[in-house]
């Protein structure tokens, strides 16, 4: 027998679901690219919640695309193997031995952990890298960085095929060179390039800060392209935030409707952003 007594929590839950209706309608059929950074990929519990959010999105008619990083996991494996690693301008100097480890960690352990988490929640995730089906072709970024690539061509045909089949692509940030080389690409760069090629409705960059902060340390909930350029010139946007905001600007120029930089450590961060009036993190658009 179901109890007839009403509980305040249930009423609040029902209201939250009801309030989500306009957002559910807005995002039906939308393409949402989500970059999951290595730092945002912490506990198994967090991963399970993230996977649930992604499966829920698919269930309500969104086409999610996951692009992952895995820098900290690559560092740990390189250390185990006694291989030194250095970064220049936020990019890992990648020789042949390092590339082997990068590919093994990204396409192997990290990619499959996300795939399994999504499938564990009833989704149909398929893991691939930019090397599959001509997804990402690269040129060398800078000879001093070794096998680091810059996407020169993105062919999203395989992703459309997967959307039609109800599958969720989970993409490791690697690309193919014209001469058959494998290139290591920054995860934010790949997410931006794929979002542009798909003309995505949203690009969500999940990281380990609440959003883009101003000089007073307050998170800005909305930023224009001009504000980003100003804040970068003034040194307020610095370090690891630079590749993210650069990716955001390039994606908007490439036809993405909005980019959000948000804290992936917050439970259900993606749902909060898409399906509540509060949103989360910093929304970047051409005009605000
Ligand atoms: N204006 C800013 N607002 C927020 N974070 C900033 C800003 N400027 C620099 N940062 C730094 O950028 C970092 C996020 O980049 P990063 O650590 O590379 O993320 P991830 O590992 O998720 O790719 C933050 O932890 C913060 O230290
Ligand atoms: C060229 C380059 O630096 N590639 C990155 C790819 C992984 C990545 O981007 O991971 P996060 O998103 O977790 O930082 C690397 O080797 O670490």
Give the pLDDT confidence of 99-132 residue by residue, as tens digits: 999 999 999 999 999 999 999 999 999 999 999 9
d(CA 76, CA 117) in angstroms, rounded, equals 22
pLDDT digits (tens, 9 = 90+) for 227-268: 999 999 999 999 878 889 999 999 999 999 999 999 988 989
The answer to whether residue 94 scores a pLDDT higher than 60 is: yes
Rounded distance, CA 270 to CA 63, Å? Answer: 14
User: Is any ligand 2 atom within 6 A of the Cβ of residue 36?
Assistant: no
pLDDT at residue 101 in the model: 98
Q: 215 or 16, which is more confident?
A: 215
For the chain, domain boundaries: 26-285
**C-alpha–C-alpha distance, residues 261 and 87, integer Å:** 23
Write down the pLDDT at residue 168: 98
Most ligand 2 atoms within 8 A of CB, residue of 173, 177, 192 to mutate = 173
Above 60 in pLDDT, residue 7? yes
Mean pLDDT, residues 181-201 taken together: 97
Q: Helix, strand, coil: what percent of the chain each, to 5? A: 45, 25, 30
Which of 92, 186, 239 is the pocket-test mutation for ligand 1 (most atoms within 8 Å of CB)? Answer: 239
C-alpha 237 – ligand 1 centre gap (Å): 8
Q: Does residue 74 have a pLDDT over 70?
A: yes
Task: Check whether 1 has a pLDDT greater than 60.
Answer: no
**CATH class of domain segment(s) 26-285:** alpha beta
The pTM of the full predicted model, rounded to 2 decimals, is 0.94
């Amino acid at each position: 027998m179901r109890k007839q007594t009403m509980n305040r929590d249930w009423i609040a839950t029902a209201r939250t679901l009801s309030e989500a209706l306009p957002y559910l309608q807005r995002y039906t059929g939308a393409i949402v690219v989500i970059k999951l950074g290595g730092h945002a990929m912490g506990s198994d519990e967090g991963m399970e919640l993230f996977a649930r959010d992604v499966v829920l999105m698919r269930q309500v008619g969104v086409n999610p695309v996951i692009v992952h990083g895995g820098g900290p996991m690559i560092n740990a494996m390189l250390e185990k193997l006694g291989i030194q690693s250095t970064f220049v301008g936020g990019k890992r100097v990648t020789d042949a031995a390092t590339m082997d480890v990068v590919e093994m960690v990204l396409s192997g352990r990290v990619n499959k952990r996300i795939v399994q988490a999504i499938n564990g929640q009833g989704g149909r995730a398929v893991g691939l890298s930019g090397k599959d089906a001509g997804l990402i072709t690269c040129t060398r970024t800078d000879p001093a960085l070794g096998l680091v690539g810059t996407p020169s061509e993105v062919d999203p045909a395989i992703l459309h095929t997967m959307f039609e089949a109800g599958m969720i692509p989970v993409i490791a940030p690697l690309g193919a060179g014209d001469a058959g080389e494998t290139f290591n690409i920054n995860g934010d760069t790949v997410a931006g390039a794929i979002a542009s090629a798909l003309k995505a409705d949203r690009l969500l960059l999940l990281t380990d800060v609440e959003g883009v902060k101003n000089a007073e340390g307050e998170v800005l909930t909305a930023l224009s392209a001009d504000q980003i350029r100003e804040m970068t010139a003034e040194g307020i946007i610095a370090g690891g935030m630079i590749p993210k905001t650069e990716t955001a600007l390039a994606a908007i120029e490439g036809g993405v409707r909005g980019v959000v930089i948000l804290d992936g450590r917050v439970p259900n961060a993606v749902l909060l952003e898409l399906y509540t009036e509060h949103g989360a993190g910093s929304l970047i658009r051409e005009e605000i």
